[in-house]
Amino acid sequence: MKQVLGISAYLAVKEIWRNRARFLLVSLVIALITLLVLFIAALGEGLGNGNREYISKLDAQLIAYQAKSDFLISASRLDRDRLASIRRVAGVQDVGMLGTANANIILPGGGEPLKAALLGIEPGHVGEPPIVQGRPLSTKLADEVIIDRSTALRSGLQVGDPLRIRVTQGTRDEFYELRVVGISDGQQYALQPSIFVPFFTWEQVRPKSEAEVNSGNDPVGNVILIKVKDPAQAESVSQRISAQVNNIEIATIAAAIQALPGYSAQQSTLNTQGGFTLFIGLLVIGGFFQIQILQKVAQIGVLKAIGTTNTIVAATFIIQISLVTLIGVAIGGLLSFLFSLTFPPTVPIVFNGTTSAIAIAALLLIGPLGGLVSIRYAVRIEPLKALGLSI
Amino acid sequence: MKNTSYSIETRSIIKTYQSDFGVIQAVDDVSLQVSPGEFVALVGPSGSGKTTMLSILAALLKPTSGSILLDGQDISAMSETERVALRREKIGFTFQANNLLPYLTAVENVELMLRLNNKLDKAGSLRAQELLARLGLGQRLNNLTGQLSGGQQQRVAIARALIHNPSLVLADEPTANLDTKRAYQVVETFAGLIHEQNRAGIMVTHDLRMCEFVDRVLQMRDGKLVAMYNDRKSIMKLVNSRAGD
């Protein structure tokens, strides 16, 4: 086996080296395919992340929605009575109301207001993001705000700065001034940077219809975030909550992410694009090596006639294809990294280690896969026919 | 019964093919023997069966019936794997064209046979260089084959055919793409090395002038061996007649 690999590697490397311009050209094509696949993966990750980041980082296992809301956060309305009811269910450790809305942040230096997700949360309860700078929210009514890293990057706001938001309430634009008390890590929601305010503050400052402005109803949030005592028992706790609290439906975090508006469609579109790009790569590599082999039928015939085994012939091609693919993927990976450094934070491109590793593994696999047909062809070459010795 | 004094011996070789026009008898009851140090030419017109016979001797093609003994081993009964190993270890080849791997240098092409037989060491590498130098390619060792002339390429192929000390050396029209002067040089060198290294050599050629350097000429027609010339006088008469085709 060692001898087979030794000879195969020798022949493969010699041929690549002595025809380096031709093989480099194929590696560059693979590099471009790599660039495309990695960017599609990064775009998928970036868009997906922008949609789900806050939800996926929640220290909660379940989310309660209003019944028949189809697990759409914006379509769900839940009052505080239900919050209290859920809190009492056995197995529930903590609950937090979440209210979602949009607001325009008036930037200190002027310019176009920054659109952000305005999220109302319960200070000290599940739903409040971990703080990386500053402090958490103090009370349910404080005029305080936590901004996520994305908002901080785009607005330039720091802890202690005043933050002015503009919202539409009824038919009027209202301005509210809050104070930044903390900065969290990235917590984007609905493809927007997020700002977090105490729930009752949120109720005051959120956009409202004319009817809401004039009504004196108790505040309602959108969904209730639930942290269970034992995450392994989340399913049974979910069933207990459904049995004990009326007019709600429960989803796990994973199900809630899939139900985010457009999330599944967006991810499947990008995955399909990535898949097709890989498929094109497969055809390009397969086509190149098939042409290579067609041009080398006589050479392969000579090799076989002088006693080279099919194992060596096949191993030589596999090593060649793998090397060319490896070089292409390495160049593509490097180019992707260099390009990624040039993108501003507003572009939703995130090079996630796992996603990139999966994309790279798939790219490395398409080389040998694409070459399978040509390897099979090479192995079946008859030395007699290749050398023109057959009658 | 084995006669081990021959390097190669065939007994009543028959090769038939099925074609659209019925059964074709490409080789018809051919028996021949070649001893170590003997260089034999197999001549005949197109379709006489000489190339098929060479393919059978090279263990590239199985005969329909008959046996072939190489160093006393019956190769007609061998499996494909055994035949591949036999070609690698005991047979040396030169072909009409496309002999060499274009991405290897002259010396690398020769060393390839030693690599395949797991015998490449410093001494082997030196031997390859010396052999090429003897063939007049001492200054061309590290040239890629594309940088060599047709005659030089054939000489590299001869070195490759001999470097691993095979029992049998086969050459299929080795002068087909060469001018007369180069052709004579190549065959003369080839014959000299076969005699010197005591190998059995068989050359298929349609060019009767090249028979000047061989010890015996076997003439084929319609799949049969029809004549044998084994003395210098009759060989030279054949060479001068140029009537083999």
**B121 CA: distance to closest CA in chain A (Å):** 14
The predicted-structure confidence for B191-237, as pLDDT tens digits, reads as follows 998 999 899 999 998 888 889 999 999 999 999 999 999 888 888 88
CA A159 to chain centre: 29
CB A129 within 8 A of CB A184: yes
State which residue of chain A sits closest to B96, comparing Cα positions: A387
Strand-pair category, B216-221 with B224-229: antiparallel
Least CA distance to B58: which residue of chain A? A305
Q: Which of B85, B95, B101 sits opposite A307 (nearest CB)?
A: B85
What residue spans define the domains of chain B? 34-53+77-241
B57 close to A (CB below 8 A)? no
Question: Is beta strand A78-79 parallel, antiparallel or unpaired with respect to A162-169?
Answer: unpaired
In a mutagenesis test of the B interface, which of A295, A302, A310, A316 is the best target, namely the one with the most B β-carbons within 10 Å? A302
- A→B interface, C-beta within 8 Å: 3, 6-7, 10-11, 14-15, 17-19, 298-299, 301-309, 312, 383-384, 387-391
Q: Is B20 helix (H, G, I), strand (E, B) or coil?
A: coil
The residue of chain B with its CA nearest to that of A8 is: B116
Q: Of A3, A7, A299, which is closest to B101 when you measure between CB atoms?
A: A299
Shortest distance between the Cα of B233 and any Cα of chain A, in A, equals 32
**Which one of B27, B64, B87, B119 would you mutate to disrupt binding with A, by most A Cβ within 10 Å of its Cβ?**
B87
- Nearest of B215, B211, B204, B208 to residue B94 by alpha carbon: B204
Chain B residues lying within 8 Å of A304, measured CB to CB: 84
**DSSP percent split of chain B into helix, strand, coil, nearest 5:** 40, 25, 35
Chain B residue with the nearest C-alpha to that of A312: B116
Chain B residue numbers touching A389 (CB-CB < 8 A): 51, 54-55, 60, 172
Which chain A residues touch B101 with a CB distance below 8 Å? Answer: 11, 299, 302-303
| A196-209 exposure pattern, b = at least 16 Cβ within 10 A, e = fewer | bbbbbbbbbbbbbe
Band the pLDDT of B110: cuts 50, 70, 90.
very high
Is B52's CB within 8 Å of A3's CB?
Answer: no
Output the pTM of the full model: 0.77
Check B17 against A391: CB less than 8 A apart.
yes
- The answer to whether B98 faces chain A, any CB pair under 8 Å, is yes
SS3 label, residue A216: coil
**Mean pLDDT, contiguous 10-residue spans, chain A (391 residues):** 89 94 92 90 86 93 94 93 94 96 89 93 94 90 90 92 93 92 93 94 91 79 96 94 93 94 88 86 85 87 92 93 92 91 80 83 84 87 76 56
Under an 8 A CB cutoff, do A14 and B103 touch? Answer: yes
DSSP label at B124? H
Stretch (H or E) spanning B111 = helix B106-116
Nearest residue, CB atoms, A387 vs list B24, B91, B95: B95
| Residue A383 CB burial class (10 angstroms; 0-12, 13-18, ≥19) | buried
Shortest distance between the Cα of A316 and any Cα of chain B, in A, equals 13
| Spatial separation of the C-alpha atoms in residues B182 and A129, rounded to whole Å | 86
Residue B89 in contact with partner chain A when CB distance is under 8 A: yes
pLDDT at B245 over 50: no
Q: What are the strands, taking DSSP E only, across A107-135?
A: 114-121, 131-134
Number of H helices, E strands in chain B: 7, 10
The answer to whether A349 touches A339, Cβ cutoff 8 Å, is no
Show residues of chain B in contact with A18, CB under 8 Å: 102-104, 144
Mean pLDDT, all residues of chain B: 89
For residue A309, the chain B residues in CB contact (below 8 A) are 81, 84
* B164 inside 8 A of chain A by CB: no
Contact B103 A18 (CB under 8 A): yes
Give per-residue pLDDT as tens, B124-133. Answer: 999 999 999 9
Are A306 and B113 in contact (CB < 8 Å)? yes
Give, in order, the Cα–Cα distances in Å from B189 to each of A291, B39, B152.
38, 12, 12
A306/B93 CB distance under 8 A: yes
Q: Which chain A residues are within 8 Å of B97, Cβ to Cβ? A: 298
Give the whole-angstrom CA distance, residue A16 versus residue A26.
11
Strand B91-94 and strand B168-172: pairing?
A: parallel
Smallest CA-to-CA distance from B170 within B41, B43, B21 is with B41
Phi, psi of A252 (to 5 degrees): -75, 170
CA-based nearest residue to A102, from A217, A188, A224: A188
Ordered DSSP codes for B58-72 = TTSS--SEEEEEETT
For β-strands A223-228 and A62-66, DSSP reports them as antiparallel
- B84 and A304 within 8 Å at the Cβ level: the answer is yes
- Token code pair at residue A93: 């450790």
pLDDT value at residue B32:
92
| Chain A CB within 8 Å of residue B24 CB | yes
B window 183-242, beta carbon within 8 A of A: none
CA dist., res. A80 & res. A63, Å (int):
15
pLDDT at residue number B98: 65
Q: State the pLDDT at residue A391.
A: 56
At B242, the pLDDT band (50, 70, 90 cuts) reads low
Q: What is the pLDDT of residue B39?
A: 94
Alpha helices, DSSP H, located in chain A: 2-18, 20-56, 80-87, 149-155, 199-205, 210-214, 234-244, 253-258, 263-295, 297-305, 310-340, 353-379, 383-386
Question: Per residue in B77-104, pLDDT tens?
Answer: 899 999 999 999 999 988 887 679 999 9
Distance CA A391, CA B17 (A): 9
What 8-state DSSP symbol labels residue A69?
A: S
- What chain B residue is nearest to A3 in terms of C-alpha separation? B118
Question: How many beta-carbon contacts under 8 Å exist across A and B?
Answer: 77
β-bridge pairing A114-121 and A92-106: antiparallel
Which residue does chain A place closest to B101, by CA atoms? A299
- The per-residue pLDDT for B244 is 42
Residue B1: pLDDT band by 50, 70, 90 thresholds? very low
Note the CATH architecture for domain B34-53+77-241: 3-Layer(aba) Sandwich (3.40)
Per-residue pLDDT band for B3 (boundaries 50, 70, 90) equals: very low
- Token pair recorded at residue A208: 């409202």
What was the pLDDT predicted at B2?
A: 44
